[in-house]
A = this chain, B = another copy of it.
Amino acid sequence: MTNPTACLLVIGNEVLSGRTRDANVQFLATRLGEIGIPLREVRIIPDVPETIVAAVNETRAKYDHVFTTGGIGPTHDDITSECIAAAFGVPWEPHPEAWARMERHYPPGEFNPARQRMATMPRGATLIDNAISIAPGFTIGNVHVLAGVPRIMQAMFESLAPTLEGGPPIASRTVHADGVMEGRIAEGLADIQRRWPALDIGSYPYYRMGGGGVALVAKGVDAAAVDAAAHDITVLLRAIGGKPVPGEPPV
């Protein structure tokens, strides 16, 4: 069984301008890996309708799941929801259940037209609960539309996750060695990658006060092969005089 794949579209001028540092990629990358739906691509795109529609249509054809973050608030620059409707070629209309939830939530008179936009969705959307601030996300086809605020995005994802069917989980083992430079182990590491072609063997140098080293990661669905490759990595590091330690280097 192969793993289903995921793509993330981060929608927002504020990330592209440098105003905001994205905090959603790493959360979704980690959680999707845990449930066996590895993230294969991320695009950060601006609040431009044609750009959003084109990116949604290209990626929903290419990946099993597409997640979007951002652009579902009440202000004029929140245009994700109507762009998803345009991408699917369906009407963008009040969603009765979303409308009812929000109408109950706000004091009389405060469920104004701007907030009503947050209850307006592509026809056929299924709600994703928002335990933090009521206004729901939604799924249509294989596209899951989440908030951009990390705390709300995470709550929405955890409400959605039990409904997603993942493939086998990805096993991973890391070995690091202080003081070892990538250039000295590159050839031996390439041999290990050739020995375990079904695994991903990654090499990540790190730098910190007083030195640095390299973290070597073996990943794959075959946990026994991952263990064996981690053993080979340990042997390689010892052979060049390194002191390999299992796990990530301390920060």
**A42 contacts chain B at the CB level, 8 A cutoff:** yes
Chain B residues with CB below 8 A from A76, complex form:
186, 189-190, 193, 201, 203
Copies in the complex: 2
Which residues from chain B contact A13 at a C-beta distance below 8 Å? 200, 202
A204 lies within 8 A of B19 (CB): yes
Partner of A202, one of B14, B113, B117, B184: B14
Residues on the B chain within 8 Å of A151, using CB: 207
Enumerate A42-60 residues with CB–CB distance to B below 8 Å. 42-46, 51
A173-205: CB near B (< 8 Å → 1, else 0) gives 000000000111111011001000000111111
Interface size class of chain A, counting residues whose CB lies under 8 Å from the partner chain:
35 or more
Please tell me if the beta carbons of B44 and A17 are within 8 angstroms of each other in the complex: no
- Establish whether residues B19 and A203, one from each chain, have CB atoms under 8 Å apart when the complex forms: no
Q: Does A18 lie at the interface of the complex (its beta carbon under 8 Å from any beta carbon of B)?
A: yes
Contact of A38 among B16, B42, B205 (CB under 8 A): B16
Asked whether, in the complex, the Cβ of B204 is within 8 Å of the Cβ of A20, the reply is yes
> Chain A 62-86 against B: per-residue CB contact (8 Å), 1 yes, 0 no?
0000000000011111000000000
**Complex interface: chain B residues within 8 A of A28 (CB):** 18
Q: Does A112 make an interface contact (CB < 8 A)? A: yes
- How many angstroms from the CA of A13 to the CA of B41 in the assembled complex? 10
Q: Interface majority SS on A: helix, strand, loop or mixed? A: mixed
Is A25 an interface residue when CB atoms closer than 8 A count as contact? yes
For A55, give the chain B residue with the smallest CB separation: B41
Q: Which residues of B contact A104 (CB under 8 A)?
A: none
Asked if A33 CB lies within 8 Å of chain B CBs, one says: yes
User: Judging by beta carbons under 8 Å apart, are A204 and B41 in contact?
Assistant: no
Closest B residue, CB atoms, query A118:
B183
| Chain B residues within 8 Å of A18, by CB | 26-31, 33, 39
Interface contact A44-B21, CB-CB below 8 Å:
no
Question: Is A219 an interface residue when CB atoms closer than 8 A count as contact?
Answer: yes
**Contact among B20, B41, B200 with A45 in the assembled complex (CB-CB below 8 Å):** B41
- Residues of B within 8 Å of A182, CB to CB, are 73-75, 114
Complex-state Cα separation, A76 to B112, whole angstroms: 57
Bound-state Cα–Cα, A219 to B203, Å: 41
Can you list 18 A-B contacts with CB-CB less than 8 angstroms, sorted by A residue number?
A: A15-B42, A17-B38, A17-B170, A18-B27, A21-B26, A41-B45, A42-B42, A42-B43, A43-B43, A73-B203, A73-B205, A74-B182, A76-B193, A110-B183, A114-B186, A114-B187, A149-B207, A151-B207
